Amino acid sequence: MNRFATTPLVQAKLRQEALASYAALGMLVCILLPLFGMVGDLVWQAAPSLTWQFLTTAPTHGMREGGVRPAFIGTLYLVTISLAVATPIGVLAAVYLTEYAQDTWFNRAVNIAVLNLAGVPSIVHALFGLGAFVYAAQLGYSILSASLTLAIMTMPVIIASTREALLSVPRSYREACWNLGASRWQTIRAIVLPNALSGILTGVILQVSRAAGETAPIMFTGAVFYKAIQPGTLLPYALDEQCMALSMHLYTLSTQTPGVAASIPNATAVLLLGLVFLVNSAAIGLRTFLRSRGK
């Protein structure tokens, strides 16, 4: 008798195995189909407008023709300034919470508050930004107000992801440094931060897409329907000016402007997606590089 022959029990197990793997594969297809369908449809519809001119010219004829240059540059402004503010503050706050703070009820409450803040809807941040930056700080409707509002929105997520990255650095590394007479800050600077860097970067980069994509916070605080900027300059906006932004532009094209050719909002969306895709790819590349260097 063959002692390795398949018994009914084994056959049932194999059937379960096949069922489980096909069910999981089916779910994956359910996700991928609409994703590729959506992106494919966007690109297909956007094709007539996807030219280099689209990126380098301003909208004309009441947004019905021309490109998106002011909105594209406006988005770059908002994303850069907001993350330049949110990253150092968020990372250092996370360093305090993980490396310095004692385990007291107050600090536990702060941690929970940060996690909850990360889940606050962007429209609430928009209202806060309007009250705090536009009115109270008297920055007016401006790039600065909009960027700070985006910074407030992204900061809790940066704190949370940085905390995760710091906590993933083994405690034995810290103890080894302390045993050698290193102060807390020397330990953090030499060992903890470099080893958490790829995790911290991932968290920050994810917020690039969020800052680029959100409409409500900037609509309330500094983004406008249309703004003429000087052609040919790299930095056409002043910080106390209002600006256009891709997300806001997409919204106004789709809902506020009659008679726009379908290719223009689609091309705007493709551009926004492309920007996010580019930044994410760069982040993954950077992370791979940092990890390979660390080992």
Partner 1 sequence: MNRIEVRDLRVAYGDREVLHGVSFDLREKEILAIIGPAQSGKTSILRCLNRTLDFSPDARVSGAITVDGQLLDRHTDVEALRRKVGMVAPLPVGLPLSIYDNVAFAPRCAGISGRAELDATVEQCLRRAVLWDEVKDRLTISGTKLSGGQQQRLTLARALSHRPGILCLDEFSIAIDPVTTMRIEEVLRELRPELSIILVTNLTQQAKRLADRTMFLLKGEIVELADNGVIFSATPGDRRTFDYVNGKFG
Q: How far is the CB of 186 from partner 1 (least distance, A)?
A: 5
Q: Out of 76, 85, 114, 177, name the contact with partner 1 by CB under 8 A.
A: 177
Query: CA-to-CA distance for 151 and 81, rounded, in angstroms?
Result: 8
Query: CA-to-CA distance for 164 and 277, rounded, in angstroms?
Result: 24
Q: Out of 138, 172, 255, 292, name the contact with partner 1 by CB under 8 A.
A: 172
Query: CA-to-CA distance for 67 and 231, rounded, in angstroms?
Result: 12
| Residue in 150, 151, 132, 139 with CA at minimum distance from that of residue 93 | 151
Verify binding: residue 288, partner 1, rule CB under 8 A: no
In sign, the C-alpha dihedral spanning 41, 44, 48, 50 is: positive
* 46 Cβ contact list (under 8 Å, min separation 6): 263, 266, 267, 269, 270
CA distances from 58 to 76, 81, 183 (A): 16, 23, 55
Q: Out of 22, 178, 277, 289, name the contact with partner 1 by CB under 8 A.
A: 178
Q: Out of 179, 233, 255, 292, name the contact with partner 1 by CB under 8 A.
A: 179
Residue with smaller CB distance to partner 1, 195 or 257:
195
Q: Out of 181, 232, 258, 259, name the contact with partner 1 by CB under 8 A.
A: 181
Lookup: tokens for 172: 């034995």
Q: How far is the CB of 287 from partner 1 (least distance, A)?
A: 16
Verify binding: residue 167, partner 1, rule CB under 8 A: no
Residues of the chain by 3-state class (helix, strand, coil), percent to 5: 75, 0, 25
Considering only the stretches 39-47, 137-145, 169-177, 234-242, report the one whose residues sit in contact with partner 1 under the rule CB under 8 A. 169-177
Dihedral angle, C-alpha 256, 260, 264, 268, nearest 10 ° = 0
Verify binding: residue 256, partner 1, rule CB under 8 A: no
Q: How far is the CB of 182 from partner 1 (least distance, A)?
A: 5
Q: How far is the CB of 284 from partner 1 (least distance, A)?
A: 21
Stretch 2-41: interaction string toward partner 1, x if CB under 8 A: ----------------------------------------
Verify binding: residue 165, partner 1, rule CB under 8 A: no
Residue with smaller CB distance to partner 1, 173 or 225:
173
How many CA atoms does the CB half-sphere of 195 hold within 13 Å?
Answer: 15
Considering only the stretches 158-166, 185-193, 216-224, 229-237, report the one whose residues sit in contact with partner 1 under the rule CB under 8 A. 185-193
Determine the number of helices (DSSP H) and then strands (DSSP E) in the chain: 12, 2
Q: Out of 24, 26, 103, 119, name the contact with partner 1 by CB under 8 A.
A: 103
Verify binding: residue 186, partner 1, rule CB under 8 A: yes
Give bridge partners of residue 277 from the DSSP assignment.
Answer: none
Q: Out of 7, 119, 232, 295, name the contact with partner 1 by CB under 8 A.
A: 295
Verify binding: residue 292, partner 1, rule CB under 8 A: no
| Residue in 29, 166, 150 with CA at minimum distance from that of residue 97 | 166
Contacts with partner 1 by CB under 8 A lie at 102-103, 172-173, 175-183, 186, 190-191, 194-195, 294-295
